[in-house]
Amino acid sequence: MRIVDVMTRRRAVIGRAIGALLASAALTLGASACAPEPDSLPGPTDAASATPTPTVTPVAIADFPFGPSTSTTPLPSDCKSILSDGILATLQGIPLNATGMGGGIRPDSSRVCVWADPGASRTSLVTVVGYSPERSARDALYLLGVDDGYLCYEPDRGLRCEKTWTDDLGLPQGRTVFWRDGVAIDTQYSNLAPQGYTAAIVAKIWR
């Protein structure tokens, strides 16, 4: 075979290869050019559109010496059973022990009753009913009268100390503590004080 024929055949093979590559490239570009445009941008993710959950702050409750005590008085089974129908009517529509507000039963068996709407931070009525040893309870009541200016007296065969004041907005606030037979009833309120509230509880527990 002559050298000229070999070179001619090589040029033909190379030419066919180059042609195939150019055709493939043209098809690829054509497919890309015909690809449809997206109609719109992707929507927001769930994380970006989620609404933050509001934080609920428990109602602040002043301390009192609740704990093991010698008593013949059983504690109430629930918060509504210690109130009269009239008192319950005045509290109609106000949540009782709403989630996160601090109501329920403590480890020392004290019952915590919180009447408050989580969205109304300045309006609440909190009562803690539980066993309280006599010496500790009497000392605490004595200090309320001497150091904190509470009015203390002895109604219904028990000891009672109470005080009222106003907050920075002029809303009424107060606290009443009643102790009898090893049981203490500690009520603290802000802008919510049904008339005769503590007396109604005393009448229900010691009826």
CATH hierarchy code of domain 80-205: 3.40.1000
- Residue 22's pLDDT is 39
Nearest partner of 67 among 151, 130, 126, judged by Cα: 130
What pLDDT is recorded for position 125?
98
The per-residue pLDDT for range 84-131, each reduced to its tens digit, is 999 999 999 999 999 999 999 999 999 999 999 998 889 999 999 999
Q: How confident is the model at residue 137 (pLDDT cuts 50, 70, 90)?
A: very high
Q: Residue 31 burial by CB count (10 A; 0-12/13-18/19+): exposed, middle or buried?
A: exposed
pLDDT confidence of residue 78: 95
Percentage above 70 pLDDT, the chain:
74
Quote the pLDDT of residue 16.
55
Q: Is 127 helix (H, G, I), strand (E, B) or coil?
A: strand
Percent of the residues in the chain that have a pLDDT greater than 90, as a whole number? 70
Residue 57 confidence (pLDDT):
86
Instruction: Tell me the pTM.
Output: 0.74
Please report, for the chain, the start and end positions of each structural domain, with discontinuous segments joined by +: 1-33, 80-205
Taking only the tens place, the pLDDT of each residue in 49-89 is 455 555 778 999 999 999 999 999 999 999 999 999 999 99
- ∠29-31-35 over CA atoms, to 5°? 120
Q: Supply the pLDDT for residue 121.
A: 86
Q: How confident is the model at residue 199 (pLDDT cuts 50, 70, 90)?
A: very high
Tens of pLDDT, residue by residue over 8-58, are: 444 544 445 444 443 444 444 444 444 444 444 444 455 444 555 557 789
DSSP annotation string for 22-52:
HHHHHHHHHHHHHSPPPSSPPPPPHHHHPPP
Each as own residue / partner, the long-range contacts of residues 155-163 (CB below 8 Å, 24 or more positions apart, any chain) are: 156/180, 156/199, 156/202, 156/206, 157/206, 158/202, 160/198, 162/198
Task: Answer whether residue 186 shows pLDDT above 80.
Answer: yes
The DSSP letter of residue 75 is P
pLDDT digits (tens, 9 = 90+) for 145-173: 999 999 999 999 999 999 999 999 999 99
Task: Report the alpha-carbon distance of residue 154 to residue 4 in Å, rounded.
Answer: 132
116-to-13, 47, 91, 174, 198 alpha-carbon distances in Å = 91, 32, 10, 15, 17
